[in-house]
Amino acid sequence: MDRELSVLGVEQAHRLGRHLKNEGFQGRIISSPLVRTITTAEIIAEECDLTFYLEPRMQEMRIYTAPYMGLTIEEIRKAFPRLAADATLPFPWTVEDPNEQVEQVSIRVNELVEELLANPPADDILLIGHGATIGALKRFFFNRSGEVIDSSYYWNCALSRYDVAPDGSAVMVELARYDFMPDEMVTSNKRHLTDPKEI
């Protein structure tokens, strides 16, 4: 269930990290506590000379039935030195319901975003998640900005960005940007960018 990041995923994370560094990103990195996203956060933090934090609400939809409680913060800290010194993580932090649905994922992600918007940090925030949680984030900001966009595929390590005003309104700046990677490196968990499109 908590699988490691692939060799390709590692390279995608490095390219995203270098892109963010070139863009001058010096904000807060918040990641799902699953190993593949922690690894992505660690790589990006290293490229940008930052640290990262953990957020259980960004974990993937609970689609597994076998018991899994997740890594403890001590285990994560030992393996990932870029974890912020003041990072916290409840334990166990995994979703209990093995029949979790998309609507439930949206509820937990929306709750997180509303909290972040209520007490926004001075700098930008980079949220690192999975297909279900990134989809929930996009729906949240589509609704907030009034955008109606069909985004059938969520490219791995693609970057979407919204600017949020003090009144909570949002403007989409970029959606699923991946031009910092060559096309042959752009993938989703379902298909490759260069695969023939489905009819």
Q: Write down the pLDDT at residue 116.
A: 92
Distance of alpha carbon 125 from alpha carbon 72, whole angstroms: 24
Structural domain includes residue 1: no
| Number of domain units in the chain | 1
Structural domain includes residue 123: yes
Residue 154 has pLDDT above 90, yes or no: no
Structural domain includes residue 100: yes
Residue 7 has pLDDT above 70, yes or no: yes
Residue 180 has pLDDT above 90, yes or no: yes
- pTM score of the predicted model: 0.92
Q: Write down the pLDDT at residue 152.
A: 55
What confidence category does residue 199 fall into, taking pLDDT thresholds of 50, 70 and 90?
very low
Structural domain includes residue 67: yes
Tens digits of residue pLDDT in 100-115? 999 999 999 999 999 9
CATH of the domain at 112: 3.40.50.1240
Structural domain includes residue 98: yes
What confidence category does residue 87 fall into, taking pLDDT thresholds of 50, 70 and 90?
very high
Tens digits of residue pLDDT in 43-86? 999 999 999 999 999 999 987 667 788 999 999 999 999 999 99
Q: What's the domain range around 113?
A: 7-185
Helices 7-22, 35-48: crossing angle, 10 deg rounding:
40
Task: For residue 139, count CB atoms less than 10 angstroms from its CB and return exposed for 0-12, middle for 13-18, buried for 19 or more.
Answer: middle
Mean pLDDT taken over the chain: 90
- Please say whether the dihedral angle defined by the alpha carbons of residues 151, 44, 107 and 114, taken in this order, is positive or negative: negative
Structural domain includes residue 191: no
Structural domain includes residue 197: no
Structural domain includes residue 196: no
